[in-house]
Amino acid sequence: MIQLFQIHFPQEELDHLKVRLNQTRWPDDPEDAGWSMGTDLHYLRELTDYWKTQYDWRTHETQLNELPHFKTLVDDTWIHFVHVKSPKRNAIPLLLVHGWPDGFYRYHKVIPLLSGDFDLIVPSIPGFGFSDRRTTTPIKVAELFDKLMTQILGYTHFAACGGDIGTGIVSEISNRYPDVVRAIFLTDAGYPTGKEDPASLSEAERQFIRSTQSWVGSEGAYLRLQATKPQTLAYSLNDSPVGFAAWIISMIHSGAGDVGVEKAFGGKDELLTNLMIYWLTGTAGSAARMYWLTATMNQEKEAASALAKKGTVPAGIALFPREIQFPREWAERNFHVQSFKRMLYGGHFGVLEAPELYANELKSFIEQYYNA
């Protein structure tokens, strides 16, 4: 059963948020540290002031509701999804899977760029946004999303795209259902586990591993904490809007480079709308648990074996320049790579930062390889 869904939160919840923002206990600024120790105090004060005095959730709520939202029960989990049907007859169904720390909102800029050519299905991963808070592993999410596409929506074949956590989910879907998934499009190709055989790696792959290790050493606090003690973190994320904002923005800044966090994510309003979806649904903690469940899954023999299996579905890779750069041979270890393109600009959130660039490359690849 599919239910229409509309986003709406009572005014008292918005008023309560403003109270919490006004009552923030700000820390000191150690020796004017800037971003060197985490989220910059001066920037966060500026963003919080904008949040309190200029940002209008109702405007963005109305804009979000211009999209067709639905909910449906898949197995025992309620899944929220946006379903935009193309006017084109027999349009290719395209599943768009988000990551962390974003949600279905990651794709709001590319939906109008792609909906003329594809039937778009943009779900919220369980534990995120408007789906159930029943966080689960990428393997289970793959099963749920396959059932959403085939059993609930009735598609016999589809293409799938993802990045970040979405890469793992799309990988699982394509590996497990290669007769149903015709093509996949990704913005990363997975990261080192530490178990790679050095003798089997090219020099470019070894450099990628070194770069990843260096990045995790300086920027990976969120990764370690969410993979080991997400519940300890959840209390703070769910209680303090400014604390939650600091946690998310620190991660966005780590990949922003010289362009700054706002351009890297699309702007102040995009940053805050993304935060608001988490805050109003109370899913900051449940989303963080995805990392713990993924780490647990990867420790299990069967799951590790499944993840190690190279896919046979045609894969396209769009590598943005501010991602950790990996060579094509790394992607080919896990995917049946048919296209490997280095984008001209953009970072981890290239879908938001460079929507036209992303949409054009995605469209070109899917249309070429879907029926290949």
Nearest Cα residue to 16 out of 241, 224, 219, 227? 241
Q: How far apart are CA 232 and CA 252, in angstroms?
A: 21
What would the 3-class secondary structure string for 56-105 be? CHHHHHHHHCCCCEEEEEECCEEEEEEEECCCCCCCEEEEEECCCCCCHH
Radius of gyration for the chain, computed over Cα atoms and rounded to the nearest angstrom: 20
pLDDT of residue 184: 98
For residue 180, give both structure tokens.
């149903």
Q: Can you name the residues that pair with 123 across neighbouring β-strands?
A: 81
For residue 111, give both structure tokens.
């939906």
Q: Decide if domain 2-10+39-369 falls under CATH 3.40.50.1820.
A: yes
- What are 316-348's pLDDT values in tens digits? 999 999 999 999 999 999 899 999 999 999 999
Domain boundaries, the chain: 2-10+39-369
Percent of the chain residues topping a pLDDT of 70: 97
The mean-pLDDT minimum among 50-54, 158-162, 252-256, 271-275 falls in: 252-256
- What are 92-127's pLDDT values in tens digits? 999 999 999 999 999 999 999 999 999 999 999 999
Q: How far is CA 342 from the centre of its chain?
A: 20
Q: How far apart are CA 143 and CA 129, in angstroms?
A: 19
pLDDT of residue 196: 86
Q: Which pLDDT band holds residue 88 (cuts at 50, 70, 90)?
A: very high
For residue 67, give both structure tokens.
């999209």
Residue 306 has pLDDT above 50, yes or no: no
Q: Are 47 and 117 in contact (CB under 8 A)?
A: no
Q: How many helices (H) and strands (E) does the chain have?
A: 17, 9
Find the mean pLDDT for residues 271-281: 98
Find the mean pLDDT for residues 262-288: 96
pLDDT of residue 99: 95
pLDDT of residue 307: 45
Q: How far is CA 201 from the centre of its chain?
A: 28
pLDDT of residue 255: 86
For 50, half-sphere exposure in the C-beta direction (CA atoms, 13 angstrom radius) is 15
For residue 139, give both structure tokens.
């393997």
Average pLDDT, the chain: 94
pLDDT of residue 309: 64
Q: Can you name the residues that pair with 83 across neighbouring β-strands?
A: 121
Q: Element (H or E) spanning 320, and its range?
A: none
Residue 308 has pLDDT above 90, yes or no: no
Q: How far apart are CA 273 and CA 259, in angstroms?
A: 20
pLDDT of residue 142: 97
* Cβ contacts of 218 within 8 Å, gap of 6 or more: none
Q: Which pLDDT band holds residue 144 (cuts at 50, 70, 90)?
A: very high
pLDDT of residue 221: 92
Backbone angles phi, psi at 74, to 5 degrees: -115, 120
Residue 372 has pLDDT above 80, yes or no: no
- What are 181-209's pLDDT values in tens digits? 999 999 999 999 888 888 899 999 999 99
pTM: 0.95
Find the mean pLDDT for residues 27-36: 88
The mean-pLDDT minimum among 21-30, 119-128, 130-139, 192-201 falls in: 192-201
pLDDT of residue 299: 59
pLDDT of residue 23: 97
